[in-house]
Structure 1
């Protein structure tokens, strides 16, 4: 038997399944019409292309996942598209079928060079770009350099790029993308046409996700898509990644994408349970509120997520109070509850709730015992709900004190239909100071001693019309003085202050006035005939100024 008779050939190989492509890559926009939420930028680019007023460098900035890199690739396609017949020019609607469009979309075009500045930060990397930019494009209309996360370039790298960036060859275009535009040198910013890509609204994201699940053949509840859109925080990529996870979770459950499953997957608190908790807080039911919180905690909900949803509830009630239209993603129950709370709660109470919950959220985020810190934060809210209303208290005192034992209460509905009652505490009314000295005293009375000292030493008023204040910006005024003073005065007086600075001398500070008054006093004393005569008789005599001031 020969060897060839024993040769059975290679064993059959199983067919290789196509690699799964995540939704964020699969549905990356291939045309400007697919780029959601950036209409203003698309319009500007379309006009620039139509009028042949193309900048030599573009800077795209925005939060993660809004489409900066995708936009850069679309601009590269728009500038290099030749159309199906090979005779076209730059267009805002690239055909997607010509060789430049297909090569750019597939990341293989020799004249479109992408570089990640996070891993190529040095001057040597930039030197390669400078050298390469001198040569004409091989097959495209423009040689295009796309530099992602450009803010991570080193200072020498930025300096090396400046001259080429200011006067690049006519065949070269630069496209920069960054999430931290504040770290890009001003010298670079001034040489680029800047586009700020906006966060994508939750409504637009939910609509986009609905189209994606339809194409994927997946059943999804609108509320589930709304939850994913909210969790994405304006980022299409983040939202598609969450949607990918939700679809996989739905496959394990054997059903579609459901709101309850998404809520569990994201660790979000149930909004119905939060409305019940909010009603208990407003009603001053400490025991019930803590039990409701523990139920959420036992279900695996993070305490910080509970406080975040409570903050969203206060914000929603405030928007309902000012008449803002409700969000489309809100359920009927949530919309009715927010409108009821917005009608019955006063603005001071809403502001107080916001501040208390916000402080609690910050404490829980850094607490060693998160659930305990959350409980203490909710107890503070309950305590605030039982405080008397200062305005109502003053009114009743003026009327002779009748009914002081029963402060006024406001209904706060829980989801079950029960009505909780709420006392309406309002912050104590602090009169606005009438002059700088009154302002200085107000800060001291409320324990702002360091800021009080700065007011005495540095504040030179130009215009004093509370709550508006214009002060001199001349040194030695601290850099953050106006901001810090405005924040503290807002906290003390419950009034928004507008404090501006100007490069004018202004009136003297309190310290300068005191010194001037002291000098005037001493001059007046020395000019007194008796004192003059005493110094003539006793030239080495000295005046005890403290005793002199006390005696006069």
Structure 2
């Protein structure tokens, strides 16, 4: 979080004022971890917290200094460090200045002792270990006494949410009307556990997670100061693993630098990935693409390879969640959505997003979210991850929820029975004239009238096929329409990758070939809706058994014509007269070829 290491200057001045409070010099402690060495020593060194610094700077300049501050945020974003900086700013004093100041570029006479938690007028308390009311009373008993040497007595209470209810109650009165010489600074990671009565008496600042790119730049700057070499991509992995926490990132950077201690080459992304136990992000995206395409065998093999390479099933599942979330953002916003990935990865994610509807991506997200809990709790994490992939593959083959609703609307449930009957008994005949129904073999007295309840009425959605104008009624006429519309790209994909299963106005089901584009079904549905003026339900079902693709059918027809021609007496005589002759093409005297085949008849 800093650009300069913490300074230990001017320690002697404070030692003369506070004998007995000296701590060992930092230089005598041996190696300092990066998180301590590069702790911010000025407000300018804080990264990612510009809004808070600007507010405090304006408040100090205007003399509107609050008596209590509440700092909240996730671990490692600088809450305790900021509290100490505020304590230094409140008690800032040099030979040239004697007033609260946010400019700490020149160390004041109290700055070093406060930074080292060694000042008698700045008390730090960890509420996680001192939660009782008696601990708070010790503080409150000393509040009424004036500071020994500083301008203000400052009380810093870390993890304040851990205080007991009675401790909070004891603090309330003093917090509302503290002495003029007392200031309180609280820090917490669980702001919702702090009573609102305490929050209302404090000026609150939310410290944000540090943006991944900002954190990566910061790590690169520290590497330069430490004369350490780590690839930019490796630093990006560290920033991502830290989840916005600067302290976590610096701790991981310490480990990464050690990886290259005995090598002259920079620490590369592979070494960082192995250190973090991460799977290759590109391979995780491969895994997601195979799963969405329904290639379950390849997906399971890819997962096993990632596991054997050291990938944690929990991390792999979280990466899958990240990619589904990124695809959802790109589906909603467009290809310019910022997903924090490289350009190549972003292009692949956008292609994935185009193959799914937003409802389908939401369904995949919910399945992965439940799968993540399963993977964490299961005795065999790999098995749980495999089951999650199988559920994803099955869900990706289902039609979008909105299309499923139309299918249900096109097949309404059986007519409801009369009141008192939960459902019609098995074997009941269709409604007779007049709206009555009768079970076979039952007396006339048991006839009843079918009156559907309002809640049983089907959803009023247009069934598939409603309103179609001049649309195809078979797969052959669909091919003819593609040829007539000159949609070469879609026609090529349909002819090569679609094995027709069912085709009727408004509905189409096909078995996709292994290498079929993931977005083929939605592309067909969009074009048919555009050309016919009605919604179509197009389902790609890998489990179905479809017929020949149109390319296979055309090739088979061509081969059949060649075989028939070879049996023709005239052809046989010609081939006898001209040895070595090969029959390569048959030109029909009349256009008897199947629809759509004429355009490619000369492909032989």
TM-score by length of 2: 0.63
- Identify the residue that residue 138 of structure 1 maps to in structure 2: 148
2:289 to 279, 285, 292: 279
- Identify the residue that residue 36 of structure 1 maps to in structure 2: 47
Counterparts in 2 of 1:54 and 1:169: CA distance versus 1, 3 Å: same
Cα displacement string for residues 283-329 of structure 1 (whole angstroms, at most 9, x for unaligned residues): 21111111001101111211121111111111222222322645585
Preserved CA contact (<8 Å) 1:284 1:386: yes
1:341 to 337, 349, 352: 352
1:407 to 484, 492, 509: 509
Note the C-alpha offset of 1:282: 2.1
Cα displacement string for residues 455-497 of structure 1 (whole angstroms, at most 9, x for unaligned residues): xxxxxxxxxxxxxxxxxxxxxxxxxxxxxxxxxxxxxxxxxxx
Counterparts in 2 of 1:410 and 1:327: CA distance versus 1, 3 Å: farther
Note the C-alpha offset of 1:332: 3.2
* Cα separation, 2, equivalents of 1:313 and 1:202: 16
* Cα separation, 2, equivalents of 1:199 and 1:170: 34
- Identify the residue that residue 309 of structure 1 maps to in structure 2: 319
Note the C-alpha offset of 1:105: 1.7
* Cα separation, 2, equivalents of 1:273 and 1:420: 19
Kindly name which structure, 1 or 2, has the bigger radius of gyration based on alpha carbons.
Answer: 2
Written as runs of structure 1 = structure 2, the 5 A alignment for 1:84-483 is 85-252=95-262, 255-321=265-331, 322-323=333-334, 325=336, 327=338, 330-388=341-399, 390=403, 395=464, 400=473, 402=475, 404-405=501-502, 407=509, 421=518
Note the C-alpha offset of 1:148: 0.7
Gaps of 5+ in 2: 1-26, 408-462, 476-499, 503-507, 524-604
Note the C-alpha offset of 1:56: 0.7
Q: Which moved more, 1:400-409 or 1:65-74?
A: 400-409
Gaps of 5+ in 1: 1-15, 413-417, 427-552
Counterparts in 2 of 1:329 and 1:384: CA distance versus 1, 3 Å: closer
* Cα separation, 2, equivalents of 1:262 and 1:290: 25
* Cα separation, 2, equivalents of 1:133 and 1:150: 18
Note the C-alpha offset of 1:99: 1.1
- Identify the residue that residue 82 of structure 1 maps to in structure 2: 93
Preserved CA contact (<8 Å) 1:345 1:424: no
* Cα separation, 2, equivalents of 1:410 and 1:139: 80
Q: Which moved more, 1:373-382 or 1:313-322?
A: 313-322
* Cα separation, 1, equivalents of 2:210 and 2:511: 41
Q: Which moved more, 1:375-384 or 1:139-148?
A: 375-384
**Match status 1:25 vs 2:41:** no
Preserved CA contact (<8 Å) 1:151 1:183: yes
TM-score by length of 1: 0.68
Preserved CA contact (<8 Å) 2:287 2:303: yes
Cα displacement string for residues 193-251 of structure 1 (whole angstroms, at most 9, x for unaligned residues): 11111111111111111111111111121111111111111111111111111111222
* Cα separation, 2, equivalents of 1:157 and 1:270: 49
Note the C-alpha offset of 1:356: 2.1
1:204 is paired with a residue whose SS is helix
Figure out how many residues of one structure are paired with residues of the other and give that number: 405
Note the C-alpha offset of 1:377: 1.2
* Cα separation, 1, equivalents of 2:396 and 2:522: 7
Counterparts in 2 of 1:410 and 1:18: CA distance versus 1, 3 Å: farther
* Cα separation, 1, equivalents of 2:365 and 2:266: 36
- Identify the residue that residue 476 of structure 1 maps to in structure 2: none
Counterparts in 2 of 1:310 and 1:253: CA distance versus 1, 3 Å: farther
1:218 is paired with a residue whose SS is coil
**Match status 1:73 vs 2:84:** yes
Preserved CA contact (<8 Å) 1:384 1:425: no
- Identify the residue that residue 63 of structure 1 maps to in structure 2: 74
Preserved CA contact (<8 Å) 2:89 2:102: yes
Note the C-alpha offset of 1:18: 4.9
